[in-house]
Amino acid sequence: MPGVNCLGRFTASADFRDDTGLGLLNNNRGCIVSGNRFPSYKAVCVAAFVGFAISLGAMAVASEAEPEERERIMAEIERRLVDDAAREAAIRAGRDRSVLCASCHGVDGNSLRSYIPNLAEQNTAYIIEQIGKFVDGERQHFVMPVLARDFSFQDKVNLAVYYASQTLEPAEADPILAARGKPLYEQYCLGCHGATGRGHAGYAVVAGQKVEYAISSMKRYRENALRRGEPLETTRSDLLMEQATAHLSDEDIAALAHYSALLE
């Protein structure tokens, strides 16, 4: 993609895969996206450590205030979405604020890596919920908590509006596996994510999601439900998702991921 040349500076090795599947940077050089130099590996490590240490004391307070703030954010998002001028202003601001997100999630929210989620056309409520989980430590990641804690109220509004407004590119998936996943989806996923995978009442859009990322996420929910694996590997917690995945086999999960990827 023009203006993005840092992809080779990330690794997906098994020695460190965090919640989104993003590996550690594998050298000390920075990378450039749209003319802006990203922090080097050392700088990211230091920033992540310092940001984590500083934020520990504030996490409890942030967690208590989160529901009220989330309501205010969603109210502001709704206000922007019904006003064409305000919506366009939010999209422009969100695009500018997303420069650090673009190296992984793509300039338009279509992920550049199979193990990193698409954000294009994602439900705004789900985006805001996940930012909150990164902030309060409920969802773990090497970089995202530091970035999320730096987002202002307006940043969250603008980013959610921006990504929700982008067009999701068609996903690649195996139609044979997808056919096996259809009855599983109807049994376990339909109630929350809907027949088209667009998500009811703020649940995640799973239609068109990266297959590898979807598989990884479902396995992490399952491992957390079964209390298996190392702590760093069980970093996603959601009661409904844990209940839905607890008894799924690896084959079931793969079939579901391929089916949802082909939903439109």
Claim to verify: residue 45 and residue 155 sit in the same structural domain: yes
Helix, strand, or coil here: 10?
A: strand
Among 116, 147, 165, residue at a domain's last position? 165
Among 165, 199, 233, residue at a domain's last position? 165
φ/ψ (deg, to 5) at 215: -60, -45
From CA 158, how far away is CA 98, in angstroms rounded?
9
For residue 80, the enclosing domain spans: 7-165
Claim to verify: residue 108 and residue 34 sit in the same structural domain: yes
Claim to verify: residue 187 and residue 145 sit in the same structural domain: no
Instruction: List per-block mean pLDDT (blocks of 10 residues) for the chain, which spans 264 residues.
Output: 35 39 37 41 45 46 68 97 98 97 96 96 97 90 91 98 98 97 98 96 95 96 81 72 96 98 96
Claim to verify: residue 90 and residue 133 sit in the same structural domain: yes
Q: So what's the pLDDT on residue 141?
A: 86
Helical spans, DSSP H, in the chain: 41-56, 59-81, 84-97, 102-105, 124-136, 144-150, 153-165, 175-188, 190-193, 211-226, 239-245, 250-261
Residue 202 CA, distance from chain mean position:
14
Among 140, 165, 190, residue at a domain's last position? 165
Q: So what's the pLDDT on residue 90?
A: 98
Examine residue 1 and state whether it is found in any structural domain, yes or no: no
Claim to verify: residue 22 and residue 123 sit in the same structural domain: yes
Claim to verify: residue 73 and residue 150 sit in the same structural domain: yes
| Total count of domains within the chain | 2
Q: So what's the pLDDT on residue 9?
A: 30
Examine residue 93 and state whether it is found in any structural domain, yes or no: yes
Q: So what's the pLDDT on residue 232?
A: 54
Examine residue 170 and state whether it is found in any structural domain, yes or no: no
Claim to verify: residue 203 and residue 248 sit in the same structural domain: yes
Claim to verify: residue 79 and residue 196 sit in the same structural domain: no
Claim to verify: residue 148 and residue 180 sit in the same structural domain: no
The β-bridge partners of 99 are none
Q: So what's the pLDDT on residue 4?
A: 36
Q: What is the CATH number of the domain that holds 56?
A: 1.10.760.10
Q: So what's the pLDDT on residue 65?
A: 56
Give Cα separations from 146 to 56, 236, 258 (angstroms). 11, 17, 32
